[in-house]
Amino acid sequence: MSEQQLFKVTIDNITIEVPAGTSILEAARKIGGEVAPPAMCFYSKLKGSGGKCRTCLVEVSKGSEKDPRPMPKLVASCRTTVMDGMEVKNITSPKVVDARAGVVEFLLLNHPLDCPICDQAGECHLQDLSYEHGKEGTRYEFQRRKFKKHDLGPYIQLHMTRCIMCFRCVYTADQLTENRVHGVLDRGDHAEIATFIEKSLDNDFIGNVIDVCPVGALTDKTFRFKNRVWFLKPMDAHRDCPKCSGKVTLWNRGEEVFRVTARKDEWGEVEDWICNECRFEKKHSSDWVIEGPREISRHSVISQGHYVHTVTPTETFLAVNDGRAPHLLLDIHTESDVNKPEIELSLINGPAHSNNFNSK
């Protein structure tokens, strides 16, 4: 019996066969599209994650072929394994839609909604979730929870106010590094992710907590406030790295590399973990072998630049004008000190400021 047992499961009236032991969420992801429940805390590459955010709740209307009773409560699809003949209702169940709207409201309750100044905007799972399943207003009339910003070493900034307590970063540190120095302090709505005494996270792979964070609570200090992600051009690239796979996505503007992240799949999960050196230190195109532009879902705001398969038109001015350069009425660089072409924006620490262009 080397053949793996296949279970037939019906999700939103679409039947699929999956190996035994698959979770409902993973089965739904195989079908794809709207049928896949959103997941804020589940991460298929992290063992033990999931079950906490409750956004992936689904209704099981038929337990299995053997025991057709429905499950009494909505279940977390990321942590419930499929049974043969199981019937699951996701978006076809009003109960699920209502519960999910409730969960979105709860998640946004203490979230600052500071998307306009948040680096995660554009690639934020909470943003996607609330656009898709949330309501336009909140019924919360109280002050939101606030925390001080924490510096976790030279590369990572923790902004606890935005955190939704998905525990992914804790699992990442547990499973990727030898020694976890951060965790959850306190409990309930005053719980926070923290190092016990303000301490830096210092580990070769700790940068991955930035990638797993579904919101902007953990951000890359080498990229903070440098650019909006949708102005950048993601490029697949690789290098020979002794520590990790070296397969990354470079986020370019022109030829400048603004940041380096791991490659993320369509569910926002990284394909390969990358090390801190690749992520934070190799910020020049010359460090990398560029493979080509990365496919980004056309629904994502990141793909708004339509950089894939675009052909830049050749400049015809010189040819038409007998090789003479155009006469400019005004060259901005002779008039103003800002935006000097010789200053690389990606190398400025923090957001660009007029002081950065002062030649004196």
Partner 1 sequence: MAIKLLLEKAHVQGIRTYEVYRREGGYTALEKALKEMSPEAIVEELKKSGMRGRGGAGFPTGMKWSFIAKPEGVPRHLVCNADESEPGTFKDRYLMEFLPHLLIEGLIISSFALGSNATYIYIRGEYAWIPDILEEAIREAKAAGFLGKNILGTGFDCEIYVQRGAGAYICGEETALIESLEGKRGNPRIKPPFPAIKGVWDRPTVVNNVETLAALVPIIKMGGEEYAKIGVGRSTGTKLISACGNLNKPGVYEIDMTISVEEFIYSDEYCGGIPNGKRLKACIPGGSSVPILPANLLLKTAKGETRYMNYESLSDGGFATGSMMGSGGFIVLDEDQCVVKHTLTLARFYRHESCGQCSPCREGTGWMEKILKNIETGKGKMSDIDLLWDIQRRIEGNTICPLGDAAAWPVAAAIRHFRDEFEWHITNPQEAQIRNFGLAHYADPIHVPVTA
Q: Which residues bind partner 1 (CB under 8 A)?
A: 50-55, 57, 73-74, 76, 79, 98-99, 102-103, 105-107, 109-110, 139-140, 142, 164-165, 167, 183-184, 186-191
- Residue closer to partner 1 by CB (options 81, 300) is 81
Tokens, residue 160: 């606890």
- Residue closer to partner 1 by CB (options 102, 305) is 102
Residue 8 and residue 83 in contact, taking contact as beta carbons nearer than 8 Å: no
Torsion of CA 138, 297, 80, 85, to 10 degrees: 120
Q: Taking the complex as a whole, how short is the minimal distance between the CB of residue 140 and partner 1, in angstroms? A: 7
Nearest to 233 by CA among 295, 317, 160, 312: 295
DSSP string for residues in 200-220: ----TTTTHHHHH-SSTTEEE
CA atoms within 13 A of residue 193's CA, in its CB half-sphere: 27
3-state class (DSSP) for residue 26? helix
Q: Which residue's entry shows tokens 């699992």?
A: 171
Q: Taking the complex as a whole, how short is the minimal distance between the CB of residue 20 and partner 1, in angstroms? A: 15
Q: Taking the complex as a whole, how short is the minimal distance between the CB of residue 133 and partner 1, in angstroms? A: 13
- Residue closer to partner 1 by CB (options 188, 326) is 188
Q: Taking the complex as a whole, how short is the minimal distance between the CB of residue 132 and partner 1, in angstroms? A: 16
- Residue closer to partner 1 by CB (options 84, 236) is 84
The sign of the CA dihedral 54, 56, 57, 63 is negative
Q: Taking the complex as a whole, how short is the minimal distance between the CB of residue 189 and partner 1, in angstroms? A: 4
Beta bridge partners of 17: 8
- Residue closer to partner 1 by CB (options 184, 348) is 184
